Amino acid sequence: MNCLFGQVDRNINRALELLTGVTADLYVLPELFNTGYLFNDRAEASGYAEICPGGKTFNALDEFASVRKCYLVAGFVEEDGDKIYNASFITGPDGYIATYRKIHLFNEEKLWFDAGNKPFFVVNVGSVRVGLMICFDWIFPESMRTLALLGADLVCHSANLVLPFCQNAMLTRCLENSLFAITANRTGCDDRGNNRQLAFTGMSQITGPRGEQLCRADRDSDCVQVVDINPYQARNKFLNQYNDLLADRRPDFYKLVNDPLNRN
Ligand code: ACM
């Protein structure tokens, strides 16, 4: 969707309007869908921060999930004491489930937010195991690999993508981990004046465990698409009779992956 910077009530209402038009078990909204993305500084981002559960964005979407008996993931600025995080929550028919705090901050986000301080996690949504990540987390293959190793069937990937790489790269992320992913991206542009602008690439998509593009939105329009998936397909990690994508890994040969400072 095209989120309008700073127009929180409008963005919440627009999201609810879009979601109300379709029936699904699980909905995913973009990163920072309620506030917009291009903050001027940390103080401004902080002015939009909400506690979760309990903030007004959470309450509005939680009510939708409760009435419609569905699950919902959405990005927002989370306040926790004097920390603020670029975060997404998941809520469901019985209320709040969990919050993910973006681990890999992109560009100026490092000036606005605290980096996520809690590990990746997977939650049960009915019989499906769902993991959360946010936007730039995609460029670190360790993010989705970790979610795969935690047993995720499906990754809810709220995004505000500005680079042109992610949508195609997610086909590989899903293939290499045998996972479904929902990348819910923004369209439009945040224009904060003084040549301070950022355009978003749209093309939200749902991707399957063999690298299939199950649906993709266009670049510019608000769009809701629903895809029926069989989450159990993600549990088959065999690419062929002999190759299991998780069991065939050779971590003894990747030790540097866990020790980025040791580059020798
Ligand atoms: C991004 O992480 N929002 C590019």
What is the tens place of the pLDDT at every residue in 88-137?
999 999 999 999 999 999 999 999 999 999 999 999 998 999 999 999 99
Active site residue 110: no
39: left (phi over 0), alpha (psi -120 to 50) or beta: beta
**DSSP labels, the chain:** --PPTT-HHHHHHHHHHHHHTS--SEEE--TTTTT-S--SSHHHHHHT-B-TTTSHHHHHHHHHHHHHT-EEEEEEEEEETTEEEEEEEEEETTEEEEEEE-SS--TTHHHHSPPP-S---EEEETTEEEEEEEGGGGGSHHHHHHHHHTT-SEEEEE----SSSHHHHHHHHHHHHT-EEEEE---SEEE-STT-EEE-----EEE-TTS-EEEE--SSS---------GGGGG--BSSSS-BTTTT--GGG-GGGG-TT---
- The residue whose CB lies within 8 Å of the most ligand 1 atoms, and thus the one to mutate among 3, 161, 204, is 161
Q: Which of 50, 70, 102, 166 is catalytic?
A: 102
Spatial separation of the C-alpha atoms in residues 10 and 19, rounded to whole Å: 14
Spatial separation of the C-alpha atoms in residues 184 and 205, rounded to whole Å: 7
31 in ligand 1 pocket by Cβ < 6 Å? yes
Q: From ligand 1's centre to the CA of 136, what distance in Å? A: 5
Q: From ligand 1's centre to the CA of 135, what distance in Å? A: 5
pLDDT of residue 132: 99
Closest by CA position to 80, among listed 65, 100, 61? 100
Evaluate whether 127 touches 231 at the Cβ level (below 8 Å). Answer: yes
pLDDT of residue 263: 60
Model pTM above 0.95? yes
160 in ligand 1 pocket by Cβ < 6 Å? yes
Please provide the average confidence, as pLDDT, over all residues in the chain: 97
Q: What's the pLDDT tens digit per position in 197-233?
A: 999 999 999 999 999 999 999 999 999 999 999 999 9
Q: Which domains does the chain have, with CATH numbers?
A: 8-258 (3.60.110.10)
Q: Which atom of ligand 1 is nearest to the CA of 135?
A: 2
pLDDT of residue 186: 97
